[in-house]
Amino acid sequence: SQQGEEDPQALSIQEGENATMNCSYKTSINNLQWYRQNSGRGLVHLILIRSNEREKHSGRLRVTLDTSKKSSSLLITASRAADTASYFCATDAEGNEKLTFGTGTRLTIIP
Amino acid sequence: GAVVSQHPSRVICKSGTSVKIECRSLDFQATTMFWYRQFPKKSLMLMATSNEGSKATYEQGVEKDKFLINHASLTLSTLTVTSAHPEDSSFYICSATRTSGSQTQYFGPGTRLLVL
């Protein structure tokens, strides 16, 4: 069952602006990951943040995790047209390889 | 590294026929593979977890006799949709992990199934 919800469901911004997407989950987690999916394609792993971490960076990506609020955010800075895609958060519980995906945010970067 | 392929990428079949989808890890051995289903503009729903040499573990509500999974080697898992119906039309995606307990899943490009 889906335990993650993301907002907004859809986001359109101008190229160069920053994009922020949020993810909320319901149960305790071991890790939270963000994935990108281009239309009709598979998922690409972006970043993993562990439950004992609060913030992580990778290039233009910044992920935060607040376990007390059971939420995470993904910030993409200086957006590019190629960032247009759907973004999903996914969580896994301690000792469990299974991922539970959020509902996703469809991001459109307007050139 | 960590490339996962799926074949076919698209398939159209008639109702009542069976369709086999292959998932291969090209440059690593995958102890565990996962099969997901995705409806248009929706999230991924886990169907089953497949471990090499053992029976797949199906999620609640997924018919194991309908969706047959075989994980015959450390680089290949197959999903067979038996007696396909139009409601089985969907995007099927597999993923694989390098080692047991790994949190990072590497996804295949997906297979779009259309049942007429």
**Three-class SS state of A83:** helix
Mean pLDDT of A80-109: 91
Residues of chain B with pLDDT under 70: 1, 100-102
Cβ contact (<8 Å) for B46 and A100? yes
The residues, ordered by sequence, that sit 6+ positions from B61 with a Cβ below 8 Å of its Cβ are: none
pLDDT at position B98 is 82
**B48 interfaces chain A, CB cutoff of 8 Å:** no
On the CB side of A6, CA atoms within 13 Å amount to 28
Cβ contact (<8 Å) for A30 and B102? no
Residues of B in contact with A2 (CB under 8 A): 43, 45
Cβ contact (<8 Å) for A40 and B41? no
Mean pLDDT of A8-27: 94
* Residue A56 · residue A47 · CB < 8 Å: yes
Residue A80 has pLDDT above 70, yes or no: yes
Residue A57 has pLDDT above 90, yes or no: yes
